[in-house]
């Protein structure tokens, strides 16, 4: 009887510890502040407004990642005016760190639409009817710098291709958004949702592992989470710079998620190497929407471009 009571008390204390830890963790979690700057258009198709499409596409992509906080466009324009920055100076990265610092940002995103091509053709369609179409191909480069160090943390290029009506003003921006969409996984890999194991609790034949990341940062049921082993620290023999590395142990799907927490289940064998304080990362996820297979709201972005 006493042993049973002790077990119940121990489980309750474990839950209380988890709740208290979660509360503390939720206080210190903060979104990374990001500013999306202007993109330089080097294509020779000004009527397609590809620089605006790139900026809108990247902004929409980053907004879908709740652990990132995007600076509003109006505030950006105000700072650009105050600093007397030209659009081209910012688009190629000049003074980007200073600009981000003025906005209180940690990361600055910018880039260029490096090339574009458009052609028209015809094909035989339904009932042997001749169909006319336009084909567009666009390449874009996206860079992300760290404001504090002015270092380039991310640089990636991609090319998108699509066909549609014979109108390059709409076909080319859509091709560009395909390119931006392709870069989304690389961005998530570089800036993953990170957290920690905060508690472990026995649940029948399984063990529930509580994490300090939840719906507020984009973690839902079914999201894949990787748990890492303890960090190993190496010191460079010459520069004395510290390097940290950790071995990924397991990747499992989230069973349930709350606003600031989530739970995954592990077997008894797996749990032997898991303890509170170990680091976790969410695996990249691209949510497909619409018949075009893009995560980006293409129709809304294109409509917005030509309203301006």
pTM comes to: 0.72
State the pLDDT at residue 18.
44
Structural domain boundaries, residue 169 = 32-191
DSSP 8-state code for residue 276: T
Domain match, 20 and 40 both? no
Mean pLDDT over 209-213 rounds to 96
Domain match, 70 and 202 both? no
Summarize pLDDT for 90-104 with one digit per residue, the tens.
655 667 888 888 889
State the pLDDT at residue 4.
46
Domain match, 170 and 215 both? no
Say whether pLDDT at 176 is over 60: yes
Q: Which of 105-109, 228-232, 277-281 has the lowest mean pLDDT?
A: 228-232
Considering all CA atoms of the chain, what is the largest pairwise distance in Å, rounded to the nearest integer? 85
Establish if 119 belongs to a structural domain: yes
Domain match, 75 and 171 both? yes
Domain match, 216 and 116 both? no
Instruction: Classify strands 206-211 and 262-266 as parallel, antiparallel or unpaired.
Output: antiparallel
Q: What is the CATH number of the domain that holds 179?
A: 3.40.50.10610
Q: Which of 21-25, 111-115, 124-128 has the lowest mean pLDDT?
A: 21-25
Q: What is the CATH number of the domain that holds 208?
A: 2.40.10.410
Q: Answer with the residue of higher pLDDT: 7 or 60.
A: 60
3-class DSSP assignment, residue 36: strand
Domain match, 36 and 57 both? yes
How many structural domains does the chain have? 2
Q: Answer with the residue of higher pLDDT: 297 or 24.
A: 297
Q: What is the mean pLDDT of the chain?
A: 82
Range list of H helices, 199-297: 268-271
Say whether pLDDT at 128 is over 70: yes
Strongest mean pLDDT among 52-61, 283-292, 297-306: 52-61
Say whether pLDDT at 2 is over 90: no
Rounded to whole angstroms, the Cα distance separating 225 from 108 reads 27
Mean pLDDT over 60-88 rounds to 80
Establish if 308 belongs to a structural domain: no
Establish if 303 belongs to a structural domain: no
Q: Answer with the residue of higher pLDDT: 158 or 7.
A: 158
Q: Answer with the residue of higher pLDDT: 230 or 282.
A: 282
Establish if 41 belongs to a structural domain: yes
Say whether pLDDT at 24 is over 50: no
What values do phi and psi take at 73, rounded to 5?
-60, -40
Establish if 301 belongs to a structural domain: no
């Amino acid at each position: 009887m006493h042993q049973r009571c002790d077990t119940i008390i121990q489980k309750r204390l474990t839950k209380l510890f988890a709740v208290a830890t979660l509360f503390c963790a939720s206080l210190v979690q903060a979104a990374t502040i990001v500013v999306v700057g202007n993109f330089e258009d080097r294509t020779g198709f000004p009527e397609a407004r590809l620089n605006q499409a790139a900026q809108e596409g990247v902004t929409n992509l980053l907004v879908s990642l709740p652990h990132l906080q995007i600076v509003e466009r109006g505030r950006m324009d105000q700072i650009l005016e105050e600093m007397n920055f030209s659009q081209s100076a910012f688009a190629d990265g000049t003074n980007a760190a200073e600009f981000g610092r003025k906005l209180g940002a940690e990361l600055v995103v910018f880039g260029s639409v490096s090339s574009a091509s458009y052609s028209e053709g015809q094909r035989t369609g339904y009932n042997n009817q001749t169909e006319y179409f336009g084909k567009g191909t666009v390449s874009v480069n996206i860079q992300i710098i760290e404001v504090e160090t002015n270092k380039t943390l991310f640089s990636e290029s991609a090319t998108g291709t699509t066909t549609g009506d014979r109108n390059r003003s709409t076909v080319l921006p859509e091709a560009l958004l395909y390119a931006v969409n392709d870069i989304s996984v690389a961005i998530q890999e570089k800036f993953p949702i990170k957290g920690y194991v905060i508690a472990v609790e026995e649940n029948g034949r399984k063990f529930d592992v509580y994490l300090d990341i939840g719906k507020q940062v984009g973690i839902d049921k079914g999201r894949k989470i990787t748990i890492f082993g303890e960090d190993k620290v190496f010191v460079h023999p010459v520069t004395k710079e510290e390097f940290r590395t950790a071995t990924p142990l397991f990747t499992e799907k989230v069973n349930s998620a709350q606003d600031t927490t989530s739970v995954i289940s592990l077997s008894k064998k797996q749990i032997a190497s898991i303890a509170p304080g170990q680091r976790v990362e969410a695996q990249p996820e691209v949510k497909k929407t619409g018949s075009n297979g893009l995560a980006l709201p293409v129709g809304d972005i294109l409509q917005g471009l030509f309203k301006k």
